[in-house]
Structure 1
Amino acid sequence: MILSNRAQGYIFVIITMCIWGGFTLLSRLSAKWHIAAWDLTALRFALAFLILMPILIYRKDTSFLWKKEPLILALLGGVAYCMTVYSAFYYAPAAHAAIFLNGCIPLCTAISAYLLFRFPFDRNTWLSLIIMIFSLLVMGYLLAQQSHHPFGLGDGLFLLSAMIWGTFTVLLKQSSLSAWQAMCSVAIWSAIVYIPIYILFLPKHLDDAQWQHLAIQTLFHGVLVVIVATLTYVEAIKRLGAFKTGSIITLAPFIAAVLAAPLLNEPLNIAIVCGLIGMGIGALQPWRWFAALKQ
């Protein structure tokens, strides 16, 4: 039986959602398994490099790597993003990642597009901005009732990660690279730049973690996140469109944040729930769904 393009699109969306949701849970779990952010970053890009570079050499398809775009994208979406986001999970729970990272990415992308290329905010972006700011204010007020320091280093790192990813997304959209070329560029150049620095200068704590945990994290981040999720995401966009695909997949980190409560024994109080709901609405923009249904 041959599936329709729409059915194939939803299959690709489900695969991507599972991987993106797993990214939130496993990244937080890496901190509990005593795997340092710089170790996980090195393992991720080393494995991806060992898989992708032989393929490119075999296909004699390496010319695109020697442009400035791949290097810039790798420094932002590869090295800088991984170091900040993996470090953030050491200081903040998964629910905070859904709020300050995934919830803020659409907003940071819109801001980066305006600052870099003067793309104006549309009505939907302004509405999202208002909802997100209001949600953060409510969440901050509720958290302040429980602690004099409601936000910590992890939240700041998640927000910085969202800014980096938003800038990366805008530059990627303006580049001439295909999805395959962009994915290979980030993985390969990140390995070339980061791994020598890691070997020569950064502390290594691989002995602090069990080899089974290292293997799980390396395979998941090096293969599923870097390679598989990128390709399934692009294939889903081809079949369902960017808005529908992005809206559905954005749910994954928020679902992961809820699952983190029983799976990782992380707190999920009323303040965090308010933040999740508000940032989820701002990121998903459900009013656009209703408008599309009326047409």
Structure 2
Amino acid sequence: MINARQQGYLLLAITMCIWGGFTLSTRLSALWGISAWDLVALRFMLAFCLLMPVLLYRKDTAFLWTRQSFILAMIGGVGYCLTAYSAFHFVPAAHAAIFLNGCIPLCTALAAWLLFRQPFDRHTWISVLIMLLAIAAMSLLMYQETGVAFGFGDLLFFLSALWWGVFTVLLRQWKLSAWHSMASVAIWSALVYVPIYWLFFPKNLSGPEPLHLIGQTLFHGIFVVIIATLSYVEAIKRLGAFKAGSIVTLAPFIAAILAVPLLNEPLSLAIVCGLLGMGIGALQPWRWWGRKDSLSQQIERQNKPS
């Protein structure tokens, strides 16, 4: 039997593979001609079909009829997915690591201050400064290379980071369990978005290869929505929020590097600058300096004379 710490790292590895795969697969779906409208609908329809019978069987549906569940779904489900998936149709995968995953810690801190007046700590201010410098250097280099500092896709990624930042803060404030928050997002997103999609949004389900549609639906509807959420929460229980959050943030940056050989995407000096700056700002490596892990701290406390 493996111990709790080893279980935590195993769960974290699963989460990183899925989150990294999210970046690559979503960019791949754009190259395959699968529209963002279609992918969001397929993702939530499958998750709904899998989760709703479980909730009914367990007679665990009361939490769905709260305003918290609905608001979380509209922000972290419909809003986030529409903007994030759409962005991949305009810019390469590396931009997601910079303007989406790199900006999520900043947007989360900003949302906490705007909604609940939670002040920035010293580490957040350092991260903000590093990120702003990285974005400024990246925009300057991009302008020199292409004549354009930012694209529409970058704006959509940043908007997605804002959605996720607000979602994270509300989730933390309302203290919903991982299972209830995940089910709320999946169920309400399907109930609200799918009918609107079928009635009003353009559809292109006959254009892409059926195998591509099935693969993307299974990956996003099962692995991203359900498995990654549960594995990440369980990893936090075993390793702590700081260590788990810091390590898993690397996944999208690794995916951005892998996109160069796998998807034949360019890796310019501007992108490298953005990846390094946003990665350092998001990970906050200076917080690791001189920091002892939880096991060492526990042993130290036990050895202290009473």
TM-score tier by shorter-chain length is over 0.9
Which residue of 2 is the match for residue 63 of structure 1? 62
One-letter amino acid of the structure 1 residue matched with residue 58 of structure 2:
R
1:141 aligns with 2:145: no
TM-superposed deviation, 1:149: 1.2
1:205 aligns with 2:185: no
1:176 aligns with 2:175: yes
TM-superposed deviation, 1:293: 4.2
Which residue of 1 is the match for residue 300 of structure 2? none
Distance (whole Å) between structure 2 residues aligned to residue 84 and residue 4 of structure 1: 40
One-letter amino acid of the structure 2 residue matched with residue 206 of structure 1:
L
One-letter amino acid of the structure 2 residue matched with residue 249 of structure 1:
V
Which residue of 2 is the match for residue 270 of structure 1? 269
Distance (whole Å) between structure 2 residues aligned to residue 97 and residue 256 of structure 1: 10
Would you say how many aligned residue pairs link Structure 1 and Structure 2? Answer: 294
One-letter amino acid of the structure 2 residue matched with residue 190 of structure 1:
S
Which residue of 2 is the match for residue 120 of structure 1? 119
Q: What are the Cα deviations for residues 51-89 of structure 1, in whole angstroms up to 9, with x where unaligned? A: 000000000010110000000000000001000000000
Tell me the C-alpha RMSD between the 2 structures. Answer: 1.0
Distance (whole Å) between structure 2 residues aligned to residue 270 and residue 290 of structure 1: 29
Correspondence list, 1:21-40, <5 A:
21-40=20-39
Partner secondary structure for residue 265 of structure 1:
coil
Correspondence list, 1:255-266, <5 A:
255-266=254-265
Q: What are the Cα deviations for residues 173-228 of structure 1, in whole angstroms up to 9, with x where unaligned? A: 11131110000000000000000000111111111111000001000000000000
Which residue of 1 is the match for residue 87 of structure 2? 88
Distance (whole Å) between structure 2 residues aligned to residue 284 and residue 249 of structure 1: 9
One-letter amino acid of the structure 1 residue matched with residue 286 of structure 2:
W
Q: What are the Cα deviations for residues 25-65 of structure 1, in whole angstroms up to 9, with x where unaligned? A: 00100100100000000000000000000000000010110
Correspondence list, 1:1-295, <5 A:
2-293=1-292
Using structure 2 for the length normalisation, give the TM-score: 0.95
Distance (whole Å) between structure 2 residues aligned to residue 46 and residue 145 of structure 1: 44
One-letter amino acid of the structure 2 residue matched with residue 177 of structure 1:
L
Distance (whole Å) between structure 2 residues aligned to residue 45 and residue 70 of structure 1: 15
Distance (whole Å) between structure 1 residues aligned to residue 68 and residue 175 of structure 2: 9
Partner secondary structure for residue 290 of structure 2:
helix
Task: Tell me which stretches of 4 or more aligned residues in structure 1 moved more than 6 Å.
Answer: none
TM-superposed deviation, 1:291: 3.3
Distance (whole Å) between structure 2 residues aligned to residue 148 and residue 3 of structure 1: 54
